[in-house]
Chain A
Amino acid sequence: MKFVKALASATILAACTFGSASAADLVVGFSQIGSESGWRAAETTLTKQQAEQRGIDLKFADAQQKQENQIKAIRSFIAQGVNAILLAPVVATGWDEVLQEAKDAEIPVILLDRTVDAPKELYLTAVTSDLVHEGNVAGKWLVDTVAGKPCNVVELQGTTGSSPAIDRKKGFEAALAGKDNLKIVRSQTGDFTRTKGKEVMESFLKAEDGGKNICALYAHNDDMAVGAIQAIKEAGLKPGKDILVVSIDAVPDIFQAMAAGEANATVELTPNMAGPAFDVLATYLKDGKEPAKWIQTESKLYTQADDPMKVYEEKKGLGY
């Protein structure tokens, strides 16, 4: 048994030295959470695409929402002697030990999309979006679009207490601060779902004089906006014209709504977190230069002017 172990570690060592010697064909392990949402599926597709474009050999492990599977995957990546590990952590805590093992094996770990509660020296960097900034971009768009006219805004919040709901609300409110013409008149949770988005929007419309008092809708995600758009139509109003619709995420279906003139703007939560991660990794492996501990992805604003049908076609195949 001891002999086998020694043999195994010798092979790993050999693999390690071999790997770092030829930086051109990198082997990167990617421990993905699972495929609980369309966005997650799109992230997986894009990570694979990005790896292929750069000639990186990507080892993919789907953890099916379980941390123990992710830890197992990371250990097997270490054993295989990969050059780097991408990790989209399912929870924030409990990573110290396995990250230490990766560090001891001198394999850099890059966090994707979420961060962990672990000492910063245990990972190379984290590539995530800034949720507050996303809300802020949506708010700024609305401020610019209404251009000083008085406007009553209704807000569909995400699941109460979740960090996207808290941060996207905060960012949006910050953009509206000091603009007296804009007022959030109603704010309720739509649980990030189409059904609840539609139901809550129906009640907003009833409560605000059949929707005549509402000038804009801000939804914390596109799915709620899609549900709300149906409610606005069923109330006999025109979404996108009578009531402006701005939301966050940029999933394909909202581009269809934008193409039909029923939604006005969306802020992208890009599923391409791997691109920036691979860029950083390449520089790090070449020069050994430590990157910043946080790399913020772009929160791009899409409006009806951005040829929504074209974007829809591009995004459709990503597995959203």
Chain B
Amino acid sequence: MTTETVGSVEASASGPTSTGSRATMILGIVTLVALGVLVLFGLILSPADESQGDSVRIMYVHVPSATLSYVGCFLTAIGSAVYLWRKSQWWELVAYAGAEVAALFTAFTLITGMLWGRPTWGVYWVWDARLTSEALLMLLLLGYLAVRRLAADYEVRAKRAAIIGLLLVPNVIIVRQSVQWWRTLHQTPTISLSGAEIQGLMLFSLFTGFVAITLVFIWMVIHRFRVAWLEEQLEAEGLDTAIAERRAEGVIS
């Protein structure tokens, strides 16, 4: 009798009701196919580099994930801004999902970078501009996630995290600039606007890498968002149920 007052249906009408859907299932399949194509081109069809040998193949996942770690930060900043402006929980959760996936991609970039650096430079880590700013980006994201996961009311942690999320972009720009001035050893960007340095099959493999890793990124953000959304709904629903139960008790006595 009291279950009708639980407004779970209307609450979740504006968001996902499960972690899967037909569209994302197709997206998932496409992503897997793209990863297969990437493996084919990256590991088998593309030639080894003249100077770096086979280790150059790490580039096909390293460069796209580095780019997407920055995309994730932008997503977090945009989501945080809209949340602060409109108080939209949907966007807040987009920011959260973006930050978590960005942290994952940053970690992946750092690990693949170190594995690539060892055979190329002879060491796992050098204090060059891009490595250092990526490491700082990781720490900034961990700070955001630490605040977002505080044991506090949703409003409190969401608002505080959103301020940090909003500052991620200016932070990243200043950090990059400062570290760039501080030191620059890294090779210049592989692809520049004036024309690519790598050509042919290697360039195509890198392109495949961008497509596949971007699909992985999108798939992850969507699913992380859905899980976060359902978690928040569950919490709200639990509260609604508890209130309804208390009311029912009052009616009986």
Report whether chain A binds chain B: no
